[in-house]
Structure 1
């Protein structure tokens, strides 16, 4: 039974249906666009709680802290987090700061799988998809009645500042008839924080409480159509504690942030009798945060930020004609930002933008060997006018015999990113610390050319080897210009500028091996070479080597051991000095034990080697948290009809 189950999982992984790369359904080995998938089985096996946890083992993906925030952002192929678009069911999610999405702010109870597409995807998804796309696919509802719940607790050992150090729980109930279905879910993650010295005031790990509640309603009037409404609320409370040196003493400082994200997604799709398929989907999301700063328990500053995102997307897929699959559609996007500090607006003027976009794609199946995808998007932005982004992808099935199956892929795409509202209009006043950051309304959009070439070879559905060469060239890269600033009344005034051109290139490799009926191994290695083409210098915060290794071992029919190891090489800490953040490696493991048909108990350790950054070294960007032990249980009741 165990052997059959493991083999079935391997075949299922190879035949996973993905939708992000071409906005149409294709199996993973047939998509012409390089794609990685994190499925629900992997999330449960590794006991991932947030989107950040789920992405930790994706080859070549880098997770970095958001400056001044209690969260993490992602980069791909040396492209920054601002240049990677994060979606939920193909619709955008609000960024917590700038245009970077905090991937810690999405809990996984309602997630079915995560698709990671690498390389410029602006032709498919528009602005911010220069470096790739991360698309979170939520769970559909099965008829009947099903339920599941998870509870777990964890500890940072001697670094705990509360007991337990971390507590987590979620519950989901769903079901219905063939035509009407509904689900509700709740997920709460309470982290008390941690400190190298728990008796001291400062905490290296912030105290964070995250709550996510959601409900979904589906109507399937016929097998040809369905409609849905999905509402969710996310709440977060953060507390940061640190000290500020005011000679001759260190003054205790505290910063709190309360975040609320209300998201309403809706849509429907219908397949007509002539084979035409239409999909209309939209989202309205409000993201609000309130920040308070205290010095010696005395309030010193308060900041309120309010963002609204509205997005509607129409897509039409035509039936096959002359071995061609035509697709076209339109997107309307609107966003607004309001922000004030101590009751005074921090925006130079009203911060709003609207964009109207049209896209067209043709998937040409020449024969059983060759396939080509052509795509084009036209965007008319309220502030930046019209821009066009093309893309071409080629896939070839090589005739390699009965045992081996080999697929080659080549892609070229142009990417672009419209400057976000903060970069253009924000007035970030830190005069007390000697500087301010000013938005620049004259910024130009970033643009890029992205080349991808690689392939996958599979042997008897048991061994899979992949490699992908990539080359990305960025123009008008936006960053804070630290070399040019003005000093007014002793305060340094920095601003955003289009200051440089950049190149990132390298090689991604991966392997998956079903060594036996009870043992599966996987590995990935990414080499990245970067350069600021204006200065010839290496780009900051881009490690040259990232490696992932893992295995899943069915010790007994009801017992599974999963191990995940990560390595990241050194990285340049700042462009103004040769200081480098040292390389690091971590090791995680988890044991999942089935207790009957419906209950699974688990025990795990994250960062077993206890590799933790040197907090006295400002150039050390290694892991923040040290060793973390946890245990818990999950109960799953399959749909009863």
Structure 2
């Protein structure tokens, strides 16, 4: 473990998430999401995906990029652009907190983030932290946190252009420019993608079977993404960063004249971060932002293709403000004290009893590096206008065995506040709800593989247990939602990366036991849409101007309902990719998805694409090998 680098990272005047991508000389990535401060070696279970990895994978969407990573299950209601749910460590899909450049995003009514609509082309880096983080971030971080960083820029002027086409009438084009020099950084980009899609759902004439309708047509999708970011370092002690990410989306889906079969949605996040260092041991970070989530549904006449009738709209606006102080005490101690303020406002066609609420969070954290021992302690108090006060905390300790292996033990509590739909949706919500609560215990082992002079590798294993109480679900006896469910989730995650000459091999496996502990007929059943076993293997080879790779993803069987009657069979997917560098700036990429043409479902009666082919040409000076 590189203690000097860790201590240097803790004292960097870059504590704000907006500056997390600043280059650091290290074989290990610097992560900020796990502790809200830069860390070169976190006690948490963390996955980092940088822009080079995104390009190498040739993934076509954010859910596709995340599928099969340790602890992550992706469920999709059809093909490209259809609703996607991310389950982190077996917790519910609304138990993951999502940040964009430090700003919280997602719907305050539905309680989830539309991952399928976030434009992958505008993303520079992703940090995935598994395990509870409410003691630093407040509500929602029961399963973990996913933070997305937009393209930052900096250095010399660099244009970029990407065009592609493929199966299902798919086409995409993206362009951008970045630069800034030594003290400034800026980046601007835009992307457009379209697909004719597949038939999303093999519905039945029943509201309880898949989409509940029979509508055997292709469901198209269009996404327009825009990102802007810029910043300036006035000195080593004063930096400012401003960022914008926006997407506009049009999605056909299998619906009805009551729910619609066409949606238009917008997501936008605008934020700024200022970092000041008044004194050498004191870093002050101020972050402010606003996120929007707007959704409108229509009924499209199947004969004319015209939007015949407006159905519904849901609008969310969220303002956030954060003040964070990082104090270095001596060399091995870092103390963080901060305040978070959040105000949510909702609107649309439904009239809620209350259409706004605010939350004030106060948090503190201690990080100590004492010889071979690492220690992290954090505590937070949230005061919510609707549900009152809630306290969460966490503790983690790590010990270095020799020079290559570390063992860690952690405990944390987390919670999720009820959404506006949970509280106020007509004939559904209840004002008597309490926050969902969890306790998690985790044992971790990480190490370096002794592979000799010409190879390198690392490995990690994490064993965890999470108990969730007061889960919110519909109570038929009360004709409203209530805190009626419980869950016990046990899991094991193991992963390893080996680099030998021009080869890179990455493998991970997740074993999961997501048990429903609610009293009643479903007690002991599996929670829906969580396979108990999943394995992913990535193999890549670089040879001069050529590169080739393959991904194998295997998922075990799961169920789509609490009663465990609607079975989702296990499946195996094989994807192939290749690329050729025509010049130092021009690259041709080819990808085959679902090579074996597997027929599988991740949501009951919702189809997934069969064998598909895609070709991409990209231009970016300075990207050559």
* TM-score category of the 2 structures, normalised to the smaller one: 0.7 to 0.9
1:490 matched to which residue of 2? none
Q: Distance in 1 between matches of 2:218 and 2:368?
A: 51
Moved more, 304-313 or 45-54: 45-54
Alignment of 1:204-215 (within 5 A): 206-215=219-228
Deviations 1:153-208 (A, max 9, x none): 0114xxxxxxxx1111111101134344432110111111124999xx94565211
Moved more, 38-47 or 63-72: 63-72
Q: Is 1:578 matched with 2:578?
A: no
2:575 matched to which residue of 1? 588
Alignment of 1:22-61 (within 5 A): 22-27=35-40, 30-61=41-72
Q: Distance in 2 between matches of 1:281 and 1:541?
A: 36
**Alpha-carbon distance, 1:527 to partner:** 0.6
Distance 1:259 1:619, change over 3 A: closer
**Alpha-carbon distance, 1:423 to partner:** 1.4
Asked if structure 2 preserves the Cα contact closer than 8 Å seen for 1:204 and 1:624, the reply is no
2:208 matched to which residue of 1? none
Q: Distance in 2 between matches of 1:274 and 1:571?
A: 53
1:597 to 572, 584, 588: 584
Aligned residue for 1:104, secondary structure, equals helix
Moved more, 17-26 or 296-305: 296-305
Moved more, 227-236 or 533-542: 533-542
Aligned residue for 2:59, secondary structure, equals coil
2:245 matched to which residue of 1? 232
**Alpha-carbon distance, 1:612 to partner:** 2.5
Alignment of 1:384-463 (within 5 A): 384-400=387-403, 405-427=404-426, 438-460=428-450, 462-463=456-457
2:460 matched to which residue of 1? 466
Deviations 1:420-475 (A, max 9, x none): 11111123xxxxxxxxx612222110000011111112124712221100100001
Alignment of 1:348-367 (within 5 A): 348-367=352-371
2:211 matched to which residue of 1? none
Structure having the larger proportion of residues in strand: 1
Distance 1:214 1:139, change over 3 A: closer
Q: Distance in 1 between matches of 2:192 and 2:388?
A: 43
2:17 matched to which residue of 1? none
Aligned residue for 1:31, secondary structure, equals coil
Deviations 1:250-287 (A, max 9, x none): xx996111112232111211223422111111111222
Distance 1:612 1:485, change over 3 A: farther
TM-score normalised by structure 1 residue count: 0.85
Q: Distance in 2 between matches of 1:449 and 1:599?
A: 50
Distance 1:335 1:146, change over 3 A: same
Q: Distance in 1 between matches of 2:358 and 2:256?
A: 42
Asked if structure 2 preserves the Cα contact closer than 8 Å seen for 1:38 and 1:114, the reply is yes
Distance 1:90 1:304, change over 3 A: same
Deviations 1:347-405 (A, max 9, x none): 341222100011100001111x10100000110000111111011111111115xxxx1
Q: Which runs of 5+ in 1 are unaligned?
A: 1-10, 157-164, 245-251, 341-345, 428-436, 487-493
Deviations 1:28-49 (A, max 9, x none): xx21111111121110001123
Q: Distance in 2 between matches of 1:14 and 1:243?
A: 53
2:551 matched to which residue of 1? 564
Asked if structure 2 preserves the Cα contact closer than 8 Å seen for 1:253 and 1:294, the reply is no
1:90 matched to which residue of 2? 102
1:526 to 510, 517, 541: 510
Distance 1:635 1:300, change over 3 A: closer
Asked if structure 2 preserves the Cα contact closer than 8 Å seen for 1:203 and 1:240, the reply is no
2:498 matched to which residue of 1? 513
**Alpha-carbon distance, 1:504 to partner:** 0.3
1:480 matched to which residue of 2? 474
Q: Distance in 2 between matches of 1:155 and 1:96?
A: 35
Aligned residue for 1:389, secondary structure, equals strand
Moved more, 377-386 or 212-221: 212-221
Q: Is 1:626 matched with 2:610?
A: yes
Aligned residue for 1:318, secondary structure, equals strand
**Alpha-carbon distance, 1:14 to partner:** 4.8
1:315 matched to which residue of 2? 324
Q: Which runs of 5+ in 2 are unaligned?
A: 1-23, 203-213
1:18 matched to which residue of 2? 31
Asked if structure 1 preserves the Cα contact closer than 8 Å seen for 2:109 and 2:419, the reply is no
Q: What CA RMSD, in Å, does the superposition of the two structures yield over aligned residues? A: 2.7
**Alpha-carbon distance, 1:499 to partner:** 0.9
Q: Distance in 2 between matches of 1:53 and 1:539?
A: 22
TM-score normalised by structure 2 residue count: 0.87
Question: How many residues align structurally?
Answer: 578
2:596 matched to which residue of 1? 609
Q: Distance in 1 between matches of 2:485 and 2:165?
A: 47
Q: Distance in 2 between matches of 1:93 and 1:243?
A: 29
Distance 1:547 1:441, change over 3 A: same
Aligned residue for 1:438, secondary structure, equals coil
